[in-house]
């Protein structure tokens, strides 16, 4: 799987969350389509088949991004010393 950029993943997650909230508050045909589209996009970007798998994959990717940034900070501190 090609890893999505962190910014793109966060944008897709935000879009999914917004669509989920809007559909839960006042379900309409428009909100249903928006939720389906956001769910599909989230599944594609994470290489998953279900929204549950996609959310778990997104969490794992975000953890990887965080760990990568922490590693870069340690590397920068070593170079500065």
pLDDT band at 3 (very low <50, low <70, confident <90, very high): confident
Give the residue from 69, 67, 47 showing the smallest Cα distance to 3: 47
pLDDT single digits (tens) 19-36: 999 999 999 999 999 999
pTM above 0.85? no
pLDDT of residue 8: 97
Mean pLDDT, rounded, for 44-57: 97
Give the residue from 15, 19, 40, 42 showing the smallest Cα distance to 31: 19
Give the residue from 47, 49, 71 showing the smallest Cα distance to 60: 47
Residue 46: other Cβ atoms inside 10 A: 24
């Amino acid at each position: 799987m090609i890893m999505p950029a962190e910014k793109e993943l966060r944008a897709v997650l935000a879009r999914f969350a917004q669509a989920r909230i809007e559909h839960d508050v006042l379900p309409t045909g428009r909100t249903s389509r928006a939720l389906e589209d956001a769910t599909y996009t989230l599944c594609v970007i994470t290489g998953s088949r279900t929204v549950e798998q996609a959310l778990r994959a997104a969490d794992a990717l975000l953890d990887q991004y965080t760990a990568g940034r922490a590693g870069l900070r340690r590397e920068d501190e070593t170079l500065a010393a």
